[in-house]
Amino acid sequence: MTTEHLEKHWGEVARRFGQEVVAPRSRDLDGQVDPEDSFSWDIVEEASRRGLRTLTMSEDWGGGGAGCLVTAKVVEEIARFDLGVSVVMAQTWKLIQTLEAATTEDQRQRYLPIVRDDSRCLLAIGFTEPEVASDYIAPYERASYRTRAERVEGGWKLTGKKHFVSNANRATLYIVFAQTDPSKSLLDGSTAFLVRRGTSGFTSGHVHNKLGERLANNAELVFDDCFVADSDVLGEVNGGFGVQSRFFPASNAYAAASILGVGQAAYEKALLWAQTRVQGGGPLLSHDSVAIDLAQMRMELEAARTYVHRAARGADGTMAWVPTHGSLPKVFASQVVWRVVTQALELHGGRGYMKDENNGMEKLVRDAAAFLHSDGANRTLLLKAAKVIRAEVAEP
Ligand SMILES: Cc1cc2nc3c(=O)[nH]c(=O)nc-3n(C[C@H](O)[C@H](O)[C@H](O)COP(=O)(O)OP(=O)(O)OC[C@H]3O[C@@H](n4cnc5c(N)ncnc54)[C@H](O)[C@@H]3O)c2cc1C
């Protein structure tokens, strides 16, 4: 299928999935007290039935064949209905792309059929540790992962802990980063490993109780003398940072697209409200200051979307790749959406703040906060971009 056909087809599938499957369940699941009860396997299985779960797997492997631009658009469409569901899917979609691009033929043969055929197969990636977090993103040159992989016969023994990991307690397959050379930093002494749920010495730990994005679960990954065979090293030994840099160009764009969906939902809600709420002798929209607020929200969302799609095209290779597009689009989109959502809250008056008004505004505010830090704290991503700028200036 051409990109245009893929975009039309998957855009329609995503819209119907959002309307028919996600929207009816989102508010109830979001309101569950125990974070594990906010996750729904029914939603994942329905995504599988509609072909969405394997959206980014190539058609040769039996997947949906979507590239980064189409995927970014689908992510935003689903996030309009619920941010958490878009994250559950987007994590899986970006890691399927990594699995196809960064693995050996043997690894593809062993893992891609599992991902394709198990209707509950989700993927997760573990970088973040309690003590090593922004340091792997910026990166801080002397930082090294506390999760260690020690050489043993035939492979490696992993010991340590990751936390905050999306899909951690739900995934079947994980990409995990560990320090293989403790004498070096994580830049040249860390390695990426493929680890399957159920591997001895590997468990998921505490499930985090989050402010928003509740339909996605985040949890710890715990490794206690967990054996991983040489055949499950992803990329080169001590080449983990290269895997992270080379194979995740679209990750930032998908994160940005997720949060844009929240902003778009808030804008649409505010516009509807401004047409129906009457104060000052007419609907709010009849007052110029309110109409200007809505124009500002729309402008900022459109600018952010254009930026995100540009980055996705770069990741697809249909436009030149710009190094700062691996960090800045999510920063911009999440800043825009934070402004848009708080403005939408303002226009709703006290009704936006009241859970019992049931208008979904307070959920959007909680959800909007998720991507100020998810996929890298904004300040850290700006620092990463600043390093690119300094390197450009230093070049002869
Ligand atoms: C919803 C959600 C989902 C996530 N999913 C995943 C996942 O799937 N996998 C995974 O591995 N991780 C995941 N994370 C973790 C996420 O990547 C980290 O939260 C993020 O990298 C920041 O780390 P931290 O929260 O420990 O903050 P810290 O690193 O402690 O930073 C705290 C503050 O200090 C600032 N700061 C840090 N270093 C510097 C510096 N050198 N100079 C100036 N300021 C600095 C930061 O910008 C931030 O404002 C997720 C997080 C969230 C919230």
Cα(386) to centroid(ligand 1), Å: 17
Cα(381) to centroid(ligand 1), Å: 10
- Are 3-120 and 249-386 in the same CATH fold? no
Closest C-alpha among 288, 240, 4, 266 to residue 144: 240
Mean pLDDT confidence for 386-393: 94
Domain boundaries, the chain: 3-120, 124-242, 249-386
**pLDDT tens-digit map of 51-78:** 999 999 999 999 999 999 999 999 999 9
Closest C-alpha among 202, 228, 206, 236 to residue 219: 206
370: DSSP letter? G
Pocket test for ligand 1, best of 380, 381, 383, 387 (most atoms within 8 A of CB): 380
Which amino acid belongs to residue 308? V
Residue 196 Cα distances to 56, 191, 232, angstroms: 20, 16, 10
Pocket, ligand 1, Cβ cutoff 6 A: 125-128, 133-134, 137-138, 164-166, 213, 218, 370, 373-374, 376-377, 379-380, 383
**pLDDT tens-digit map of 261-306:** 999 999 999 999 999 999 999 999 999 999 999 999 999 999 999 9
User: How many of the other CB atoms lie within 10 Å of CB of 67?
Assistant: 20
Mean pLDDT confidence for 354-382: 95
> 177 pairs with which residues across the strands?
192
CATH class given for the domain over 249-386: mainly alpha
**pLDDT tens-digit map of 339-359:** 999 999 999 999 999 998 889
Pocket test for ligand 1, best of 82, 131, 134, 195 (most atoms within 8 A of CB): 134
CATH superfamily membership of 124-242 = Butyryl-CoA Dehydrogenase, subunit A, domain 2 (2.40.110.10)
CATH fold label, 3-120: Butyryl-Coa Dehydrogenase, subunit A; domain 1 (1.10.540)
Mean pLDDT confidence for 90-100: 97
